[in-house]
Amino acid sequence: MYRYDSIDKAIVEDRAQEFRGQVSRRLTGEITEDQFKQMRLMNGLYLQLHAYMLRVAIPYGSLNSRQLRRLAHIARTFDKGYGHFTTRQNMQFHWIKLAQAPDILDSLAEVDLHAIQTSGNCIRNVTADPYAGATAEEVDDPRVWSEVLRQWSTLHPEFSFLPRKFKFAVTAAEHDRAAIRVHDIGLILHRNDEGELGFEVAVGGGQGRTPYLAPTIRQHLPAGSLLSYSQAILRVYNRHGRRDNKFKARIKILVAALGAEEFARQVEAEWARIVAEQPDADLPAIELARIRGAFTPMNFETLPPRSAAFDAAKAGDRAFARFVRNNVKVHKQAGYAVVEISLKAIGATPGDISAEQMDAVADLGERYSLDDIRVTHEQNVVLPHVKLDDVPALYAALEAAGLASANIGLISDIIACPGLDYCALANARAIPIAQSIAQHFADQDRAELIGELKIKISGCINACGHHHVGHIGILGVDKKGEEFYQLSLGGSGAEDASLASILGPALPANRVPEAVDQIVERYLALRQGEERFLDTFRRVGMAPFKEAVYAEAH
């Protein structure tokens, strides 16, 4: 956890203060809703179908127990007792009263949280690998660099009114848990042959109506040059990105129009000039070291790699063993594990968490995970540093809180956007579709037999539910006022990123679980060895699945 100093605190407080003034100008009628809209959108406050929605930034998905308790408090006091984790590692409250929004921001500021740049055409919350600092795969901690970006992008003088919103994602591991290739800038930390730390820089990925995977424009950027290089990319985009059509305004369109090579050339030319004329464009080494040092040190104990208590519980309790198989991952430190908490209980709303559950997770994170709690872009929660010895007790506590679903990465671990239940832009509902599919695959043995299968659902073409990168993607469409769903197969947001292709004509809601079932059955029939669904699909192609879903309709 990065610990705020007095400067970081002051900036968040000043923002809350500024927003209070703006809201009061609106409430007294000094400014119109139209004028106010620009201001509230800079503060993550949206007007939705039924109420205001406030989006709180969770920088790179990292929270401590105090912060999570505060989110619980806000859910209880100002909302209907729950919050919603998004695919951007943020938390949304969907039932907010405008007059109370300033109090919420003040309350958040007390625990170093805010809603700065969670909306608007600016640099949004940076997302990162939720296993940062816990996985043996990484060459460095991506949170340090994410925090460098967070500070630099906060109220950036030049880049706060871009053609469109702009999202960074950072990872330092081979296994991509941050969907790097579908971000405006995806950064992959690595060491080059000389052992120097640097970033592979991918630019111009995105979802929405025209999905693109980000091409790499630079193989190795020295880590210390992150900000000057980002400045160059943003400047080229701010000046040349399209502003005439909001659907063509993301950087992916500029990169695709120019071609990755020409875009890279322009960035490199701009970068060379920035470096020459602006000696302070990058942070000095001492400030990089200060930021690194401001993260709470992780004092891991020296433990044996195996735990008798853990092994005994696994042998004696089938449910616990299942939880371990699916939700417990390898930690870099012997005797520790990464534990994922699924927010996808069968029948639940993906990403929703009640105030009581937030408090429970906060307590457990404090007790068992060095006060470190993470949110994933797959709308689950991670306790990154749990001693193997403690996993059985943690599991029991999760069970008591209704948070012990053992389905991470399985077919019922579905990503869904809020859809027509909340969102003014939606064509169709997403949540009930997720629920009906999860219910259909409630049999855990069968779910495990199917193995890794990522279903992602969006209520409209904006793709907040990441359907383009679902192994099975589901998109809500409107057919003459009725909700229909278009299925696509073969997408991935991980290190083997790919975009899904459309299966066939859209289906009515009640056909969706059955169609997913038909796809799954065909996969099980075709699977060779240990193949995941995605592997089988890539081997055999679309035809057998198309046939499975549409054949009998004729």
Partner 1 sequence: MPKLIRLKDGEAFEAQDLFADVADEDAIPAGPVILSLTRFQAEGDALIGAGQAVGVRIEAGESVEDLAYDLPRLALVALVFPKNTDGRAFSSASLLRQRLHYAGEVRAVGDVLRERALFMMRCGFDSFVPTDGSTPAEWAATAERYRHVYQPAQDGRTPAFAERL
Chain residues binding partner 1 by CB under 8 A are 5, 7-8, 10-11, 14-15, 17-18, 35, 38-39, 121, 151-152, 154-162, 235, 238-239, 243, 273, 277-278, 280-281, 283-284, 286-287, 290
Q: Among residues 60 and 152, whose Cβ is nearest to partner 1?
A: 152
Q: How far is the CB of 234 from partner 1 (least distance, A)?
A: 9
Q: Which is nearer to ligand SF4, 210 or 462 (CB)?
A: 462
- Which segments of 223-364 are extended strands (E)? 328-330, 336-341, 352-354
CB of 525 to partner 1, least distance (A): 53
Q: Look at residue 459 and give the partner it binds from ligand SF4, partner 1, none, a contact being a CB closer than 5 to 8 Å depending on partner kind.
A: ligand SF4
Interaction with ligand SF4 in 431-470: which residues (CB under 6 A)? Answer: 458-460, 462-465
What's the closest the beta carbon of residue 46 comes to ligand SF4, in angstroms?
Answer: 10
The b-or-e profile of 248-263 (16+ CB within 10 A means b, else e) is bbbbbbbbbebebeeb
Tell which phi-psi region holds residue 349, choosing left (phi > 0), alpha (psi between -120 and 50) or beta: beta
243 binds, among partner 1, ligand SF4, none (CB under 5 to 8 A by kind): partner 1
Q: What's the burial of 172, exposed, middle or buried (CB within 10 Å: 0-12/13-18/19+)?
A: buried
What is the Cα–Cα distance from 202 to 185, expressed in whole angstroms? 6
Cα gap 532→449, rounded to integer Å: 10
Give 65 or 228: the residue with its C-beta nearer to partner 1: 228
Dump the DSSP string for 231-263.
HHHHHHHHHHS--S-GGG-SHHHHHHHH-HHHH
Residue whose CB is less far from ligand SF4, 309 or 425? 425
Sign, CA dihedral 504-507-511-512, equals: positive
Question: Phi/psi zone of residue 175: left (φ > 0), alpha (ψ -120 to 50 degrees), beta?
Answer: beta
Strands 373-375 and 62-63: antiparallel
Could you tell me if 183 and 209 are in contact, meaning their C-beta atoms sit under 8 angstroms apart? no
Nearer to ligand SF4, 394 or 430 (CB): 430
- Residue 161 site contact among partner 1, ligand SF4, none (CB < 5 to 8 Å, cut-off depends on kind): partner 1
In this structure, the number of other CB atoms found within 10 A of the CB of residue 379 comes to: 25
The interface partner of residue 206, options being partner 1, ligand SF4, none and the CB cut-off 5 to 8 Å by kind, is none
User: Residue 157: which of partner 1, ligand SF4, none does it interact with, CB under 5 to 8 A by kind?
Assistant: partner 1
**Which one-letter amino acid corresponds to residue 23?**
V
CB of 14 to partner 1, least distance (A): 5
For residue 175, count other CB atoms closer than 10 A to its CB. Answer: 14
| 269 versus 312: smaller Cβ distance to partner 1 | 269
Binding mask 404-423 for ligand SF4 (x = CB under 6 A): -------------xxx---x
Q: In the bound complex, what is the minimum distance in angstroms from residue 104's beta carbon to partner 1? A: 19
Choosing among ligand SF4, partner 1, none, which partner's interface includes residue 367 (Cβ < 5 to 8 Å by kind)? none
Q: Do the Cβ atoms of 469 and 499 come closer than 8 Å?
A: yes
Contact of residue 426 among partner 1, ligand SF4, none (CB under 5-8 Å per partner type):
ligand SF4
Identify the residue among 54, 324, 415, 426 touching ligand SF4 (CB under 6 A).
426
Smallest separation, CB 52 to ligand SF4 (Å): 15
Q: Which does 17 bind (CB under 5 to 8 A by kind): partner 1, ligand SF4, none?
A: partner 1
| Residue count, binding to ligand SF4 (CB under 6 A) | 13
H or E element, residue 287: helix 285-293
Contact 351, 65 (CB under 8 A): no
The binder of 158, among ligand SF4, partner 1, none, by C-beta within 5 to 8 A per type, is partner 1
Crossing angle for the helix pair 142-153 and 226-240, to the nearest 10 degrees: 50
Task: Rank residues 92 and 327 by Cβ distance to ligand SF4 and give the closer one.
Answer: 92
Residue 204 to residue 464: CA distance in whole angstroms: 17
User: What residues make contact with ligand SF4 under the rule CB under 6 A?
Assistant: 417-419, 423, 425-426, 458-460, 462-465
